[in-house]
Amino acid sequence: MGLFDFVINQGKKLFGKDDNDPAAKIKEEIEAANPGVKNLDVKFKDGQVQLSGDAITPEAMEKAVLMAGNVQGVQNVSADGIKAPPQTGNVEYYTIASGDTLSSIAKKYLGDASAYPKIFEANREVIQHPDKIYVGQKIRIPLG
**What pLDDT does 86 receive?**
86
The total of structural domains in the chain comes to 2
Say if residue 104 is in the same domain as residue 48: no
18 and 53: one domain?
Answer: yes
The predicted structure's pLDDT at residue 1: 59
Residue 129 lies in domain? 90-143
In the listed set 65, 83, 101, which residue is the last one of a domain according to the structure? Answer: 83
Predicted confidence (pLDDT) at residue 17 exceeds the cutoff of 80: no
Instruction: Please state the pTM of the whole predicted model.
Output: 0.92
Which H/E stretch holds residue 68?
helix 58-69
pLDDT digits (tens, 9 = 90+) for 67-124: 999 999 999 999 999 999 988 888 999 999 999 999 999 999 999 999 999 999 999 9
Strands of the chain (E only): list them. Answer: 3-5, 37-45, 48-55, 76-83, 90-95, 138-143
Q: What is the mean pLDDT of the chain?
A: 93
Residue ending a domain, among 54, 83, 112, is 83
Q: What confidence score (pLDDT) does residue 81 get? A: 95
Cβ neighbours, 10 Å, residue 93:
14
Residues 13 and 79 placed together within one structural domain of the fold? yes
Residues 15 and 79 in one domain: yes
